[in-house]
Structure 1
Amino acid sequence: MKVEVRDKEKEKERLKISYILNLLGFLGFTGGLHRLYNGKIATGLLWMFTLGLFGLGQFVDLFLIPNMVEEREIKLRLKAGLSPFGVGESYQAVASEIYHSPQETLMIELLKAAERRGGKLSVTQGVIETGATFSQVETTLKEMYKSGYVDIGNSPENGAVTYIFHELT
């Protein structure tokens, strides 16, 4: 609410100054100052060198000044990083860290465990190494098998199902 009131006061002040500068053009002083003040450089210079388009432009501008002032205020707000309504622009948040799902984290832990064990890992060994549940480890290892990261075999010592990481053997 305060921002809106302050902006309206600035706009009224700019409007008042613009009309005063236009009046100076009617009195024979340099015409076009009101246009320069409102950011209309090219037409402001044209008005200045032609004495307000021979007075006709100065007269027409009496009706156009409110729009000139409004356009200038909008441009100034945009330049200041505000929306045309005086509200700050919203920015999208960007994640500073990559989110790893629990399953991805478990996969990494299982890979490290398999590396320590010569590229072979059973479900029980995975549970001991990671602290995850049997079903979590088994599901993750099966998912890795479906993706082609591991093969399934049996341990020659005890016949337990063993997951073989060929890249680590």
Structure 2
Amino acid sequence: MASPASNQRLTLSYLLWLGGFFGFSGLHRLYNGKIISGLIWFFTLGLLGVGQFVDVFLVPGMTEDHELRKLRAAYGNDLYNVLNQPITTTQTQRSLTREEKMVKLLRAAKQNAGHLSVTQAVLETGLGFEEAETLLSDMARSGYVAIDNHPQSGVVIYRFDEIAV
């Protein structure tokens, strides 16, 4: 379902598209970040009206592309993960501190009898693989965690001896 902001952008894009009937072709393209083609449309009257007419079908895609570019600018290449992970109240209010993330790892380890693999850490805390592994390695370097391998699979296991049940 489209957000209200997306619907407003689409409505305004169509209103700007109508500007082509008054000699202001390409405003909808400029508004959606398509600067070069917007200028071409503006100076050629929408490619003599043909491009302007075709754009009536392309405007929804332009607005969606613009929204995705804004999200990518805000979240970088991790856009897929951002769009597919559930939003928690903590994420909407602020980012977790390093210590809060470590506490989440400790709680995850406690739920797993004091043992935690990187994959388990990711599943239980919502952190990314690289971040979870970095935090666990830092905890191991500080002496809070021991590193072992699972006897059957060989997977690296971080062992929290103080909370092992």
Query: How high is the TM-score relative to the length of structure 2?
Result: 0.50
CA RMSD of aligned residues (A): 2.7
Q: Residue in 2 aligned with 1:83?
A: 79
- Residues 1-169 of structure 1 correspond to what in structure 2 (within 5 A)? 8-28=3-23, 30-81=24-75, 83=79, 85=83, 91=128, 92-93=131-132, 94-95=134-135, 96-97=138-139, 98=141, 100=143
State whether residues 77 and 86 of structure 1, in contact with CA within 8 Å, keep that contact through their aligned partners in structure 2: no
Distance 1:86 1:35, change over 3 A: farther
Letter in 2 for 1:58: Q
Structure ranking higher in helix proportion = 2
Q: Report deviation, 1:15.
A: 0.3
Distance 1:83 1:23, change over 3 A: same
- Unaligned residue ranges in structure 2 (runs of 5+): 88-125, 147-165
State whether residues 46 and 52 of structure 1, in contact with CA within 8 Å, keep that contact through their aligned partners in structure 2: yes
- Unaligned residue ranges in structure 1 (runs of 5+): 103-169
Distance 1:90 1:46, change over 3 A: farther
The structure with the largest alpha-carbon Rg is 1
Q: Residue in 2 aligned with 1:106?
A: none
Aligned mates of 2:84, 2:46 — CA distance in 1: 33
The number of residues matched between the two structures is: 96
Aligned mates of 1:46, 1:71 — CA distance in 2: 19
Aligned mates of 2:84, 2:41 — CA distance in 1: 31
